[in-house]
Chains A and B, each alone.
Chain A
Amino acid sequence: MKSGRELYLAYGCAACHGVNADGRGPAAGLAHVKPRDLTNLAAYRGGSSVEAISSTIAFGVAEGRTGMPGYPDIPKREREAIAEYLRSLARQPARVAVYDAWIRTPNPAVDVAAGFMTLVSSAPEPLSVVAVSSPAADIVEMHEMKSVDGMMSMQKVSAIRIPPRGTAKLAPGGTHLMLIGLNKPLPRQTEFTLRLDDGTTVTASAILRDED
């Protein structure tokens, strides 16, 4: 038997729900009710257990009146495989908390700024921040400052590691988020979205301030 993902794609679920099951399929705009984001278990109208999802696939939601038709011809085993696959996509609760996030008030002469924060992980394994974005800047990079041969050397890094049940502190003189192409003027509070290597994302609200 094909895998749940293969079945999901083979039966055309992605047309409305998208290849990533996030509700953004190419035909999403045609449906009179917005297709559900299936990676959010709370969004399932007919329930999110394997049985419930399997049943929704077979009979649709409210007999198809919401836009989700029934597909009773899909064998039960395949419907369950699709349901298992969808449940595996469900977003995990974030295991990283962000504290004391701030952006150093940028100098008006330049369009870069540095952001700092403390990341606390409750995960038993090491986690890494692998990407960061913010509406405050076109690009957010992760930079690490090191002293090399008596010089301060800034390196762009691809990840910031957080030890198991530990803390990563982004602070002046160490690691920072480099905001490039600032969308000025920056508001007093700016959102950051941090993507972790376990597939989860964390958002943080950073305040604009100067050094202590």
Chain B
Amino acid sequence: MKTKTAVLFLFLLFSCAERKQHEKLMDVGPWQLVDHDGRVFRSESLRGQPALLFFGYTHCPDACPTMMSKVARAYREAGPDAARIPTLFVSVDPRDQPRVLKEYLAYFGAVPAKGLTGSKAQIDAVVKQFGAQYVIRDSGSAAGPLVDHTIRLYLLDRDGDVARLFDPDADPAAIAEAMTAL
């Protein structure tokens, strides 16, 4: 019994110490979107587990696929333990219906990804909470509107706040390290 208590005590001590280890870059606060199965997604549902998040859109020809392949490499580097950390792909393009998002993300099989979208008001609110930006622009392209958007990878801590931010040219090994450290 004593041993069990001691183990529990050590465990709590360790996990508290671990939690205090990182500084938060940004407090985010609760938010709500719609997931790629059409269900309401509340940020609270993430509590207790870290997550990766970035803003994009499925017709994004370069930046988003590049970021996604970088994320896939980070998961490979981080090993099987990282599979518990979801990657949230928040689309800022109203063309991206949940079904499209789901099909789009299924292609990146190695990444436990969840597509998120929502009403314009919901999307705008989340974008603002993360200090991000996007502009949908008539581009003169046959591909339709092009979307300018912040392309940074957010690592959310167990409280759903931003622990780390990665630029598109970040090293996947550094992302992997930060993922496993949380």
- Count contacts on B: residues with CB < 8 A to the other chain: 30
Stretch in contact with the other chain, from B39-47, B62-70, B153-161: B62-70
CB of B141 within 8 Å of the partner chain? yes
CB of A113 within 8 Å of the partner chain? yes
Question: How far, in angstroms, from A141 to B107 measured CA to CA in the complex?
Answer: 25
Contact flag A154-B107 (CB < 8 Å), given A109-B100, A148-B148, A180-B142: no
The answer to whether B61 touches A210, judged by C-beta atoms less than 8 angstroms apart, is no
CB of A126 within 8 Å of the partner chain? no
Q: Mark A81-114, 1 if CB is under 8 A from B, else 0.
A: 0000000000000000000000010011110111
Question: For chain B residues 85-141, which have a beta carbon within 8 Å of chain A?
Answer: 100, 103-104, 106-107, 133-135, 137, 139-141
The answer to whether B65 touches A178, judged by C-beta atoms less than 8 angstroms apart, is no
**Residues of chain A with a CB closer than 8 A to B169's CB:** 173
The answer to whether B100 touches A154, judged by C-beta atoms less than 8 angstroms apart, is no
The dominant DSSP class at the A interface is strand
CB of B17 within 8 Å of the partner chain? no
Q: Which residue of B lies closest to A178 (CB)?
A: B61
Question: How far, in angstroms, from A149 to B132 measured CA to CA in the complex?
Answer: 11
B63, B100, B141: the one within 8 Å of A152 (CB): B63
Q: Mark A114-158, 1 if CB is under 8 A from B, else 0.
A: 100000000000000000000000110101010011111111100
**Residues of chain B with a CB closer than 8 A to A148's CB:** 148
Question: How far, in angstroms, from A35 to B11 measured CA to CA in the complex?
Answer: 87
The answer to whether B142 touches A139, judged by C-beta atoms less than 8 angstroms apart, is yes
**Residues of chain B with a CB closer than 8 A to A153's CB:** 137, 146, 148
CB of A73 within 8 Å of the partner chain? no
Question: How far, in angstroms, from A141 to B139 measured CA to CA in the complex?
Answer: 12
The answer to whether A211 touches B65, judged by C-beta atoms less than 8 angstroms apart, is yes
Contact flag A143-B61 (CB < 8 Å), given A107-B104, A107-B107, A109-B103: yes
- Count contacts on A: residues with CB < 8 A to the other chain: 30
CB of B149 within 8 Å of the partner chain? yes
Question: How far, in angstroms, from A210 to B109 measured CA to CA in the complex?
Answer: 14
Q: Which residue of A lies closest to B69 (CB)?
A: A211
The answer to whether A180 touches B141, judged by C-beta atoms less than 8 angstroms apart, is yes
Question: How far, in angstroms, from A107 to B56 measured CA to CA in the complex?
Answer: 14
Question: How far, in angstroms, from A157 to B60 measured CA to CA in the complex?
Answer: 16
B59, B106, B134, B143: the one within 8 Å of A151 (CB): B134
CB of A164 within 8 Å of the partner chain? no
CB of A176 within 8 Å of the partner chain? yes
CB of A26 within 8 Å of the partner chain? no
Contact surface of B with A, Cβ cutoff 8 Å = 58-63, 65-66, 69, 100, 103-104, 106-107, 133-135, 137, 139-143, 146, 148-151, 168-169
The 8 tightest CB contacts between A and B, nearest first, are A109-B104, A109-B103, A211-B69, A153-B148, A114-B61, A151-B148, A152-B151, A152-B63
